[in-house]
A and B are shown apart, each in its own frame.
Chain A
Amino acid sequence: MLVYILRRLPQTLLVIFGVTLVTFIALQIGGDPTYLFVSERASPEEIIATRIKLGFDRPLYIQYFSYLKNLLFFDFGDSLYFRQPAMKVIFETLPATIELTVFSMLIAVFGSIPFGIYAAINRGKWLDGTLMAIAMLGQSIPNFWLGIMCILYISLNISWLPISGHVPFLMPIFQGDFIQGIKNFPTTVTYLLLPSFAVAFYSLSRNARLVRSSMLEVLSQDYVRTARAKGLTEYTVVMRHAMRNAWLPVVTIIGLEFGFMLSGVVVVEVIFAWPGLGRTVFDAIAHRDIPLVQASVVVISLFVIIINLITDLIYAKLDPRIKL
């Protein structure tokens, strides 16, 4: 395992380096970044003062190194709109986003497995056809529209679930108040259901198709035939023998999925008034709050990279064919 981690580490470091470089370049690409930090009516003197204050008068490579140095200390400068460190704003909103992302992830992974297996063992029948049609639809629905429609029909028309809002679960726990967090949990989940369904439906559909085709492939293999020939019940064959190999492809893409899901969360949070990072990014866009957008992108990307690394390691553990 250690060897695998050591082999994987330089690659991860390179990617992190790339992330910092790209986010640095993004700021420079529109010309002098000073103009992004001053108001439109700023006088030339003000502009020069801001440029010197923010260090944009220095050579680019020096700016980049000081950017890197600040990154090490999680310092992204102050949010222009909130007038406090961008990092502070992000850490305040991150727990709500993690709740939504993880819950969506659970739906997407654990929902897709029965979905796909059910379709696979009914291959060619109408059930398979219907499930796959739903999966096709799921890959074509804009997640934020799905969110709007859920609010309209599930919350407003039949009032099953709350329309929008958020009850914190992770925040009290991070602050050390476990009991409050656990007390909140059931309400948290009712608020989570609709937004996480809107986020997860796309991935759920894609994974279901993946599980189905990998299940079909596994079911045609010799060892499954042997298991059937031994007289095992179909249930045991599918659930114990075939399943182990059938859901490996889903594990592989969980890492990539996570990044994709975070992108979905950003948009869906806006609809459900979810007080997470996505809403913050949305507000930051509206106020052209560049440091906050930049900081959010870096934080989320680093998050995704770490998750990717972890899933790779889990995969290596699950699949003994990968020699460490």
Chain B
Amino acid sequence: MNTLEIKNEKSNNFKYIKNFFLSLFKNKWAFGSLIWLLIIVNVAIFASKIVPHDPNRNNIIERVAPPLTTDKDGNIKYLIGSDALGRDAFSRLIYGAQVSLTVGFAAVFIGGLIGISLGVYAGFYGRWIDDIVMRLADIQLAFPFILLAILFLVVLGEGLVNLILVLGIGQWVTYARIARAQTIAQKQKEYVEAAKALGVSDFSIMFQSILPNIFAPLIVIASFNVASVILAEAALSFLGLGVPPQVPTWGSMLAESRDHIFARRWWLPFFPGMAILLTVLAFNIIGDWLRDYLDPRLKEVE
């Protein structure tokens, strides 16, 4: 390869990245979602530095304080109120971002890793490997997922790692199905045959030649998937099956707010629910945009 070609390739890459961001900036919903997610990620990372109060400090005297409660000097003490134990809801909300995002990303990573590997193998080799993987996928799809997660978490006990593993393993089917279908389509192309003729190992063909070509739809799925994992995590936390009770999560904040509905302490359920809604919405909008961007054919149909 001579210098000129390398230069061309680099400027092409640059152009590709530039187009990507230009298209992102033009879509105000997608852009707004990205900004929101960047904020949430930063809030989660720097949670300990920005919380106004210790999220686990009780203060029974100031329990269920409404939003915008001020102290003696008129400064806002509880921005979005305090909960039944007098803990600052805002600080707990900030820490809640940590669990939701960690679980969301980690579970999707695990599910993607398992699903893509199995899917590419199944698509590439076909025959009995394909049969086994696809029957496993059928079996898993037959389960209502949350229930399966409940069963495993009740037996395994609560904890972040268990939660991530159960949610992650629950996600592999989608990735496997798409990776398999795409691999089957790519397998017949000339570049795969060329690589085979050159004596490249199967493993390299699968994961160095085919995988980059089928990555676009998988990224789209991953974005939607983070959204649904965050929803599932919230539901499990709500049922008391997430991380240990002293760790604040959006789902467990909602669970605790259940006893206050009749007293109309609306702020207790409202804010954690909004946090979940906006974050999930952002992932969904970005997924939508990515799908249109990566596969313009779909846009015509939509």
Contacts and interface: CB of A to CB of B under 8 A. Distances in A.
Interface string B144-165: 1111101110111100000000
Interface string A198-229: 00000000000000010011000000000000
A286 B245 CA distance: 13
B235 interface: yes
Nearest to A155: B261
Contact of B155 (A286, A290, A301): A290
A304 B148 CA distance: 13
Interface stretch (B78-86, B183-191, B280-288): B280-288
A32 B231 CA distance: 32
B-side binding surface: helix, strand, loop or mixed? helix
A36 B155 contact: yes
Contact of A305 (B142, B238, B281, B284): B142
A140 B274 CA distance: 10
Nearest to B278: A140
B142 A301 contact: yes
B150 A293 contact: yes
A266 interface: yes
Contacts of A304: 142-144
Interface stretch (B38-46, B87-95, B102-110, B133-141): B133-141
A149 B273 CA distance: 9
Contacts of A271: 258
B297 to A, nearest CB: 12
Nearest to B157: A30
Interface string B172-209: 00000000000000000000000000000000000000
Contact of B285 (A136, A144, A156): A136
A202 B251 CA distance: 18
Interface range, A side: 35 or more
Contact of A148 (B150, B251, B257, B301): B257
Contacts of B270: 149
Contact of A22 (B143, B156, B157, B240): B143
A281 interface: yes
A163 B263 CA distance: 13
A301 B143 contact: yes
A139 B156 CA distance: 30
Given A145-B277, A290-B155, A15 B139 contact: yes
A256 interface: yes
A144 B148 contact: no
B96 to A, nearest CB: 13
A148 B227 CA distance: 20
Contacts of A148: 254, 257-258, 261, 269, 273
B264 interface: yes
A29 interface: yes
19 contacts: A14-B139, A18-B139, A29-B156, A137-B277, A137-B281, A142-B276, A142-B280, A148-B258, A148-B269, A148-B273, A149-B273, A156-B261, A260-B145, A262-B147, A293-B150, A297-B143, A297-B151, A305-B142, A308-B142
Interface of A: 11, 14-15, 18-19, 22-23, 26-27, 29-30, 33, 36, 136-137, 139-145, 148-149, 151-152, 156-157, 163, 213, 216-217, 256, 259-260, 262-264, 266-267, 270-271, 281-282, 285-286, 288, 290, 293-294, 296-297, 300-301, 304-305, 308
Interface of B: 135-136, 138-148, 150-152, 154-157, 227, 231, 234-235, 238-241, 251, 254, 257-258, 261-262, 264, 266, 269-270, 272-273, 276-277, 280-281, 284-285, 288, 301-302
Given A142-B273, A148-B257, 9 more contacts: A27-B155, A36-B155, A140-B280, A142-B234, A142-B277, A144-B235, A259-B141, A259-B142, A260-B144
